[in-house]
Structure formats: structure tokens, C-alpha cells
Structure 1
Amino acid sequence: MPWIIFKLLMLFLDITHGGPTKIINGGDAVPGAHPHQVSLQWNQRPSLGLPGAAWYHICGGSAIDVNVVLTAAHCVDFGKASEFRVVVGDHRLYEYDGTEYPLQVSRIYLHEDWIPGLDYNNNVYPNDIAVLTLTMSFVNTNIIIPLDDDTDANADSDRTGQNCIISGWGLNDTNSDIVNTLQDRNMTVLSQTECEQYWGEGGYIFRGHICVFDGPDGTTGGSACNGDSGGPLVCQGKLAGVTSWGREGCRMPNTGDFMPSVYARVSHYRAWIEMTLGRLSGSTGRG
């Protein structure tokens, strides 16, 4: 299932405990280590017919242009642009660090072939990617991260075997305690074949996916989890993936073992991203 907590459950967690938690077996990120990382937040009050704003972290995202964020389609396919904002420079979600500032989302561009929850052609959640434009530009454009194109002279064509970094504010376990500090962890990129072997050969993984995994062991392994959706996978300084889906509960229920975390492969969607960036002056996005 996609890694986004069901909306009402997320609200319950935020209201009763103070917010979602972190990557499983990650560690506290060094402040400023992932400047491209944003917190995507949703104002649930309009959906309840209530005035005002009550913002809740639901997903991550990455700054890819002066006023553009890349995230997962399933993070934003249920609401209007006016119901979302991104917070740049955040480190501790529920404390003020003096580095964060919010920016309103102006338009949402979902991938045209994203259909929520549909499993077609034996692929799970293909095209889970979206571009968000913001009402204002970033104060510091140095936070923009370059997109992976698989042409790096030091990179294999699909980054198999490379050590890459995931980050986010998602759950640190299936039934986790709550912390609010941005987490990160180094993970190893699997080949498409290896990832298929874990998820079911020919059934789940296609060329638009990139998987990371450090083995099934519940102590030494790790995983992205609910609340990390839309966030970055970074390989050699480039945005290589957008957190998409994984095992429901983020572990195997009986053993506590991990399964690979699955991301939308940025290099596969780079042409679509660039085409979308080229048409931002139009009105094709969803307001």
C-alpha cells in the first residue's frame, strides 16, 4: 500500500500524540543535511466544513526548481491545492528552529497515468509522482536538488548496489513512539530482479520503480514507513527516487522482518517532470 497514513488515522495520531514519527532504524539527521527535503502538510479543516487552518504533516517532498516540489501522487490526489502547503527548512516538526518557513501550494500536477489504488498490468502503484508549484519562490534556491538521469559517469545505469540516503518524518515502527526530528538512513539499491523476487516476480516492480533494502533482519535492516511518502531517495547528490509504497505496517506482521522500500524512479520520469516544468505557465494543473 502507499506509505500515507489514512487521513483520519493521521489526524488521530497528530491530535493525541503530537505528530507522526520516523524512518524505521534511522537516526536523527544533522540539521541542514537535507535542505531539499520539505514537509508536505494538509489543512483538514476545510474538508470538515470548518473555518481556519490546522496543518498536519502527511508526506515529504523535494525542492526541484525555484518554486517547485516533487512528491508522490497519492499524497495530494485527494484534495485541492489550497489545502496543502510545504514547509522548507524544517528539522523538528513540532518545535520552532528558526530555519523553517511555509509556502502555499498553488497548483497540483498529477502524472496523467496515475490512478489511485489501481493495480493494472500487474504493477503496483505505477506513476506515483506529482509536481507541485508554489505561490512564492524559495528564499534560498541552493536547496534545489538536481534530478537523477542515470548518466552520471560514476553511476551504474540503474544504481544497483549503490549506497543511497533516505530521509523523512515517517513512523519509526508499526506501533511507534512519537519523535519529531527528521530522520535519515543509508540504504542499498536493489536490482529490479532482486526486488521482484521479494515482492513477487513479474507482479509488482516495473522500470518506473527503484527499490532500497538492507536485508530482512528486523534489527539491522531498515525501511521507510507511513509519513515518509513523497520524500527523497538521494544517490550521489541527485534525487533518484520518490517514496511510494511498501509493506503495510512497514514490517512482516509475524516475524518483524522488512521488505524492500519502493520508490518512483526519478530518471524514468525525468522527461515527464521536465515537460511539466515547461508548461507551468499554463493552467493544466489542478488548483
Structure 2
Amino acid sequence: MRFTIIALAASLVATATAAPLNKRIIGGGPVLEGDIPYIVEIQAKSGLCTGFLVDSQTIMTAARCLKDKSNPTVYIGNIKLGKGTKAAVSKFVVHPNFDDKKGLNDIALIFLSKKASVTPSKALTSPGAMPKSVIKNFPKYNDELNKVSLNVDPTVNCKSKNPNFNDKTQFCTRDIPLGHSACDGDWGGPVFSNNRLVGLVSRGTSGIKCSEKGSFQYFTYIKPFISWAKSEISKN
């Protein structure tokens, strides 16, 4: 089963106030122009994140990207950092049960002031099932949209590094082979299995650098959150 992470990988500073993004997708390969038109670059005070359109006026991303509680700057639909179409943000909503310390319910929605002109993902209408494994890896990264394929680990391993892990709403990967992983700053990027969107990048392992031995990455499985997302969208 193919499992691929997509994020805006870079070794630069997104904004004057953002943290340096010197450790992004490790071992990833480039995405071609037009492959994922609904991809979104998110520039927040806390740093650079990735998201994706779930309808023409709503972006889904990781809640931890919006911890500074101010509207981010977003760019839609380009594989190069800062080269997408800038879109005005009206508001955002973080899942009410988001727990940053435990890493749970790490999901949020950003609402645009106007409808985007690109076709959104099918995350709300046809989300994929929980992924099991991957079959391919990609060899490099740069300052464009990148992808990397990773193995999904069993629950017992995920819990070994994070006792709060919830296998109903999360899945995790280990850095196998070494040098291929999602990393700091890739948060919110879409995750695919069999060409269907199944989740988003959430976090790494506390106290361990990404791509190093013992490194795990955790992901939010979006299917359990579809009802919440649709409810919030109906209010907008």
C-alpha cells in the first residue's frame, strides 16, 4: 500500500519572525507542477507549515501550526515557496480537544475570505483508510514541494515513544531506511495512501532529531475528524 507525505521542504526562513526551517523532509523527492493543485503553504508566526484545500474556501492543517492564535499568511497551488496565489484568511478554528502536550487531535481548519480558483482535495468526500505500508522512497530534497514514502509502524511501536498515542485517530512511522522522514516544519502536510488522502503530518519524537536512530513521526488520521470538519464548515 503506497503511503506518501507531501510538504513544502526547505532550508530557509519563511518570514522575519518565523523560526529557521533548516530541517524539513529528509530523503524526499520533488513533486511536479500541477500534481497537487490544492496544496497550501502556510506562513505563521511560529514558522512554515503545509496544508491542503478540503473545499474551495477551507484549508485543513495541523493545529500546532496555529498556536500563536493569529491569522497566518497562505499561498495556494504552487510547488515553490512563496510562489503560490496569496489568499486572504478570514478566521481559523482548532479542534476543541487539541492537546499539544499529548499530541492528540492535532487538526485545524483555516477559512478563506474568498473561494479559491483551484479544485480542492477529496479529503472530506473520499478519505482513505488507515495506511499499512509503503513501497518506495525518494532520494533528495530542496526548496520546492517534496514527497517522501515511509513505512507505517504497528501500534505497540508508536506507543513505545509516545504513551498517549491513539491508534483510532493517529498512525506513526519510523525512519526506515535511515534518512527518509518527515521533519520539523513539515507539519500539516497531506499524507496519501493508494492515491487517497488519509492524514496530515503532526509531530516527531520528543528529544530525538528527525531522521536519527529512534526517530518516529506521528500523523493525524483525518477520517475520524470528517464530521467535526463538516460541522465547522457549515457554520462558516
TM-score for the superposition, normalised by structure 1: 0.66
Instruction: Flag structure 2 segments of 5+ consecutive residues without an equivalent.
Output: 1-13
Larger radius of gyration: 1
Per the alignment, in what secondary structure is the counterpart of residue 70 of structure 1? strand
Is the CA contact 1:40–1:87 (under 8 Å) kept in the aligned structure 2? yes
Match for residue 210 of structure 1? Answer: 171
Shift, 1:163, TM fit: 5.3
Q: How many residues align?
A: 221
TM-score for the superposition, normalised by structure 2: 0.79
Query: How far, CA to CA, are the matches of 2:214 and 2:86 in structure 1?
Result: 34
Query: How far, CA to CA, are the matches of 1:272 and 1:101 in structure 2?
Result: 28
2:140 matched to 1:181?
Answer: no
* Counterpart pick for 2:210 among 243, 246, 251: 251
Distance 1:151 1:61, change over 3 A: closer
Per the alignment, in what secondary structure is the counterpart of residue 60 of structure 2? strand
Query: How far, CA to CA, are the matches of 1:38 and 1:103 in structure 2?
Result: 10
Distance 1:146 1:67, change over 3 A: same
Is the CA contact 1:148–1:240 (under 8 Å) kept in the aligned structure 2? no
Query: How far, CA to CA, are the matches of 1:205 and 1:227 in structure 2?
Result: 21
Match for residue 104 of structure 1? Answer: 88
Query: How far, CA to CA, are the matches of 1:230 and 1:164 in structure 2?
Result: 22
Amino acid corresponding to residue 81 of structure 2 in structure 1: L
Is the CA contact 1:21–1:180 (under 8 Å) kept in the aligned structure 2? no
Is the CA contact 2:97–2:105 (under 8 Å) kept in the aligned structure 1? yes
Query: How far, CA to CA, are the matches of 1:101 and 1:165 in structure 2?
Result: 30
Match for residue 146 of structure 1? Answer: 122
Q: Which has the higher helix share?
A: 1
Match for residue 24 of structure 1? Answer: 26
Per the alignment, in what secondary structure is the counterpart of residue 210 of structure 1? strand
Match for residue 11 of structure 1? Answer: 18
2:158 matched to 1:195?
Answer: yes
Match for residue 48 of structure 1? Answer: none
Amino acid corresponding to residue 128 of structure 1 in structure 2: D
Amino acid corresponding to residue 153 of structure 2 in structure 1: L
Match for residue 188 of structure 2? Answer: 230
Instruction: Flag structure 1 segments of 5+ consecutive residues without an equivalent.
Output: 1-6, 14-18, 45-55, 118-123, 167-171, 173-178, 281-287
CA RMSD across the alignment: 3.3
Per the alignment, in what secondary structure is the counterpart of residue 75 of structure 1? helix
Match for residue 74 of structure 2? Answer: 86
Query: How far, CA to CA, are the matches of 1:247 and 1:223 in structure 2?
Result: 12
Query: How far, CA to CA, are the matches of 1:36 and 1:165 in structure 2?
Result: 23
